[in-house]
Structure 1
Amino acid sequence: MILFGSKSGPGFVSCQQVLNVMVILGFMFNYMLRVNLTIAIVDMVETNVSVANSSTKSRIDETRFSWDSEQKNAILGSFFWGYVLTELPGGRMAEIVGARKIFGGGMLMASILTILTPAACYLNYYVILILRAFLGFFLGATWPAIQPLAVSWIPPMERSKFIANMMASSLGAALTMPVCGFLISTVGWASVFYVTGAVGLVWSILWFFLVFDSPAQHPRISDEEKRDLEMRIADGEGGRSVRPSNVPWKNIFLSAPVWAIVITHACSVFGYFTVVNQLPSYMKDVLKFNIKENGLLSSLPYLGKYFMAVISSYLADRLRKSGTMSTTATRKMFTTFAVMLPGFLMIVEAFWGINAALSVSVFTISLFFNGAVTAGYLANALDIAPNFSGTIFGLANTLSSFGGWLSTKIVAVLTKDESTFDTWKYVFWVLVFTYIFGGLVYLIFGTGKIQHWNSAKTYPEDGKELQPLKKQADIEREKELIA
């Protein structure tokens, strides 16, 4: 039995299925390489030490560092210095040279840097700052690279499910926390970087062996699978897409549908960062309940968000493919569900959030609903401009990357005098406004219609939505007529 297929016939697992599995694992390990330091640094820093740059031995004979709070936060934040620089270029480069090189190369370099992290820590404080910035530089290019890959491998009416694979990053976060905690307690903090880096390295090697930019470039795909994919993709897009040689920057920056995606993504990510990174402090300081110490409760939001992403994306593609709902209506419905419902839940938190059990429920349900963004605006760039989907997502992710920094500053300003329910209520109202504003912007300006500047040639169908694929019976009838 041939596992991955060959030119002569399909294998037990199709090349498209292999691609899906590798993308799921890729985003899991992508987030693992990103958050491993946030877990390990708790054990890396020596407390109650006043001498700068000195070090002591931990309980398992490991060096700890005397970084103060400012230095610690600078190390954690340096990741974003590089991250924001490559979001937009990464999406565009994936459109030019292919997602295989950008996503795989970014993960490969990030894995190597992760393995080198302990050595960087021992060398100098500034070395680890620079290393983390370069780590962000390489990982920043990976996220927008996946959208161009979907254009070549996934039929238009099935792309929501493929984009849901990006939410496997939530699974990565849910698994990384307990695994890293176990490694720290049994082997030491350095093992976190060696293990996660090695996992990323193995994945990167497999990626370059198993994944290619299109069915036409895959050396082991069967003729049957290749022909089927190319026919369904061409059929869904009407065969009318001619990639322009240059990016229509003016059209992109003046496009209301593009800005609907960018603004809604920024609002959604701002809310996500605030709920995940800032509100646990509220739970601990105000409600005297440390959710991060409860492994089950701390992982529930991540797991819930991933499962909602998969379920909603499956439903979205089913609605679009059957013709039950248009792409525009589908995207708007799921975006409203994913972005505005968390906003309304924050109203509940603003009035009755003094109850710990209610707060945990609100935060968890909020992130659960937010997983439906994959069926909403997150896949929308593939609808309106598949040829520039990487560029659009890169633009959206560049601006939204400031969300984590901005939420930290807002919480710091609003709670600087005292961390009480009365001061945190203002944080909740900020989230109410942000979520609902993002949802309203998309409701007004969002669309599923393909934009005229997506193609180098103008067709009568431009400005219309991509159509559902023909039913298999129609395809077979056409084959018989041709024969």
Structure 2
Amino acid sequence: MAKTEKSFTRKFPGCLTCVQVLNIMVLLGFMLNYALRVNLTIAIVEMIYGDKDNHTAILNSTHESLNVTQHPETVQQTRYHWDTKQKNHLLGCFFWGYVLTELPGGRLAEVIGARRVFGYSTLLASILTLLTPGAAALGFGWAVASRVVLGFLLGATWPAILPMASKWIPPMDRSKFMSNMMASSLGAAITMPICGFLIAHFGWESAFYFTGIIGVMWSVAWFAVVYDTPAQHPRISETELHYLTKVLPQEDSTKGHMPVPWRSILTSPPVWAIIITHGASVFGYFTVVNQLPTYIESILHYSIKHNGLLSSLPYLGKYLCALASSVLADSLRRTGKMSTTTARKLFTGFAVGLPGLLMLAEAFFGEDRIWSIAIFTMALTINGAVTAGYLGNGLDIAPNFSGTIFGMANTLSSFGGWLSTFMVGELTKDNNTSAQWQIVFFILAGTYLCGALCFVIFGSGELQPWNARAQPKAEVQPLNDEKVAA
């Protein structure tokens, strides 16, 4: 396999193969995916009025650090009187829509292709992002509605990519391809400081305009260069097409789409290992994604400029870890030094279990600025190794239904995303102190550790028998042979 792969790459020096272009576009797509989400988590700090004295102190600190001589109100023109419960309500309502399209999005990508599902969802989400400041101006209800619809659109994107990977990416390269999904963390790492800078200079509305415009531009490029299968791509070389067809037998479209074996899926321990572990891991991740800027501002007392930079550190580390662990896992599997099952369990235990232990440390050292930022950064960095663990495991056990399996897993994790914001809101709405946040960290620790244990016990990397198309009964009837003999 390695020789064939090198041969078609060398034959076209200086040119990108279609697989390489797909990798780039998926990487940029998931960077954008999280940019469209996390813009609110940093903007909301400046969208609403907090405690008057604390608010004034933060603004003064911000403008001193930026050497801004203008009056604060000339920089931050519009603020809303939303309380802590409303703020967490706005952060969490994204998942109301998100949970509705996870499973349909995965199955729809298996049927009509990921190109349209991922592309149109992102395009419409980008346009909606541009309209978000206007929605907030109309009232809190409109702001909530815009976030629910945004979640509805972006919910279909994640499970859509796995069916595309089953058509384009050789099995021993799939961990590395899945690391492109963790570029969402890289997108957050870049978006946080940029939005912090834009908000400080031009107001919180600029964060939505910036991410929305970038999203529209990406969507146009996506439809121009990405196709669902190698056979559909108009610019693919014969060498690359032959190679991909050889290592990735394509499903015969004349036979129609395979029906989902729901009974086999719902009774499969490896499938439930993916679902439960994904839910636990993402619960912890979303809690940090949505609440870290607020924690840094309210408990650690950093200004908005430093908030954006510090909030970005864990995401940058997560992507780098995802890329490194994926390359290592694929290398170990390709050389036969480690089976797929062992690799998936080892990297999942590391990526989900260790952050659980770090959340215990955060519970005791969370008030210290240096320790707190260091622990958050390490926890999310290590969590990036899920790309070599459970994240692409659906492609191992059932590539034909990988979108459906991932949709099921992300549906549960979406409930976890909403639950995390509800949990933090209820625990901190009347008493936003480090003692209350300590309870949050204990809950996160237990969730992470339970998820890791579940996959280590029940996870698998073996292809499941229900992934194959059932053979028609007529093909095994002896009557055919009797007719031929006659």
Do both share a fold (TM > 0.5)? yes
Question: Structure 1 residues 94, 65: closer, same or farther in 2, change over 3 A?
Answer: same
Displacement of 1:336 after TM fit? 0.7
Q: Structure 2 CA distance, aligned partners of 1:70 and 1:430?
A: 20
Q: Structure 2 CA distance, aligned partners of 1:61 and 1:254?
A: 54
The worse-fitting range, judged by mean Cα deviation, of 428-437 and 373-382 is 428-437
Q: Structure 1 CA distance, aligned partners of 2:84 and 2:384?
A: 33
Aligned to 1:468: none
Among 239, 261, 273, the residue aligned to 1:248: 261
Q: Structure 1 CA distance, aligned partners of 2:98 and 2:208?
A: 19
The worse-fitting range, judged by mean Cα deviation, of 276-285 and 310-319 is 276-285
Tell me if 1:180 matches 2:195. yes
Instruction: Note if contact 1:243-1:455 (Cα within 8 Å) is conserved in structure 2.
Output: no
Aligned to 1:384: 397
Instruction: Note if contact 2:45-2:294 (Cα within 8 Å) is conserved in structure 1.
Output: no
Aligned to 1:21: 24
SS at match of 2:93: helix
Question: Structure 1 residues 211, 326: closer, same or farther in 2, change over 3 A?
Answer: same
Instruction: Note if contact 1:243-1:387 (Cα within 8 Å) is conserved in structure 2.
Output: no
Aligned to 1:406: 419
The worse-fitting range, judged by mean Cα deviation, of 252-261 and 173-182 is 173-182
Aligned to 2:281: 268
The worse-fitting range, judged by mean Cα deviation, of 187-196 and 197-206 is 187-196
Among 455, 467, 471, the residue aligned to 1:442: 455
SS at match of 1:165: coil
Displacement of 1:67 after TM fit? 4.1
Instruction: Note if contact 1:10-1:224 (Cα within 8 Å) is conserved in structure 2.
Output: no
Tell me if 1:429 matches 2:442. yes
Tell me if 1:198 matches 2:213. yes
Q: Structure 1 CA distance, aligned partners of 2:153 and 2:288?
A: 26
AA aligned opposite 2:98: Y
Question: Structure 1 residues 267, 291: closer, same or farther in 2, change over 3 A?
Answer: farther
Aligned to 1:89: 104
Question: Structure 1 residues 444, 34: closer, same or farther in 2, change over 3 A?
Answer: same
Q: Structure 2 CA distance, aligned partners of 1:25 and 1:133?
A: 23
Displacement of 1:417 after TM fit? 6.9
SS at match of 1:349: helix
AA aligned opposite 2:353: M
Question: Structure 1 residues 58, 358: closer, same or farther in 2, change over 3 A?
Answer: closer
Structure number having the greater helix percentage = 2
Displacement of 1:130 after TM fit? 2.2
**Mapping of 1:113-128 within 5 angstroms?**
113-128=128-143
AA aligned opposite 2:373: V
The worse-fitting range, judged by mean Cα deviation, of 123-132 and 442-451 is 123-132
AA aligned opposite 2:152: F
Displacement of 1:135 after TM fit? 1.4
AA aligned opposite 2:344: R
Question: Structure 1 residues 281, 175: closer, same or farther in 2, change over 3 A?
Answer: closer
Instruction: Note if contact 1:9-1:222 (Cα within 8 Å) is conserved in structure 2.
Output: no
**Mapping of 1:304-323 within 5 angstroms?**
304-323=317-336
Instruction: Note if contact 1:283-1:291 (Cα within 8 Å) is conserved in structure 2.
Output: no
Q: Structure 2 CA distance, aligned partners of 1:42 and 1:211?
A: 37
Question: Structure 1 residues 276, 445: closer, same or farther in 2, change over 3 A?
Answer: same
Aligned to 2:359: 346
Displacement of 1:251 after TM fit? 1.2
Among 338, 343, 346, the residue aligned to 1:333: 346
AA aligned opposite 2:191: T
Tell me if 1:171 matches 2:174. no
Instruction: Note if contact 1:28-1:169 (Cα within 8 Å) is conserved in structure 2.
Output: yes
AA aligned opposite 2:258: S
Q: Structure 1 CA distance, aligned partners of 2:457 and 2:358?
A: 22
TM-score by length of 2: 0.83
SS at match of 2:391: helix
Tell me if 1:144 matches 2:159. yes
Tell me if 1:44 matches 2:47. yes
**Mapping of 1:145-164 within 5 angstroms?**
145-164=160-179
Question: Structure 1 residues 383, 285: closer, same or farther in 2, change over 3 A?
Answer: same
Instruction: Note if contact 1:111-1:200 (Cα within 8 Å) is conserved in structure 2.
Output: yes
The worse-fitting range, judged by mean Cα deviation, of 196-205 and 180-189 is 180-189
Aligned to 2:479: none
AA aligned opposite 1:22: M
Question: Structure 1 residues 11, 107: closer, same or farther in 2, change over 3 A?
Answer: same
Q: Structure 1 CA distance, aligned partners of 2:442 and 2:190?
A: 31
Question: Structure 1 residues 78, 435: closer, same or farther in 2, change over 3 A?
Answer: closer
Question: Structure 1 residues 439, 392: closer, same or farther in 2, change over 3 A?
Answer: same
Aligned residue pairs total 442
In structure 2, runs of 5+ residues without a counterpart are: 1-7, 53-71, 472-486
The worse-fitting range, judged by mean Cα deviation, of 259-268 and 407-416 is 407-416
TM-score by length of 1: 0.83
Aligned to 1:472: none
Q: Structure 2 CA distance, aligned partners of 1:61 and 1:410?
A: 30
Q: Structure 2 CA distance, aligned partners of 1:61 and 1:271?
A: 32
Instruction: Note if contact 2:89-2:422 (Cα within 8 Å) is conserved in structure 1.
Output: no
Question: Structure 1 residues 66, 278: closer, same or farther in 2, change over 3 A?
Answer: closer
AA aligned opposite 1:191: S
Aligned to 1:475: none
Displacement of 1:289 after TM fit? 6.3
Aligned to 2:118: 103
AA aligned opposite 2:443: V
Question: Structure 1 residues 355, 116: closer, same or farther in 2, change over 3 A?
Answer: closer
Aligned to 1:357: 370
AA aligned opposite 1:24: L
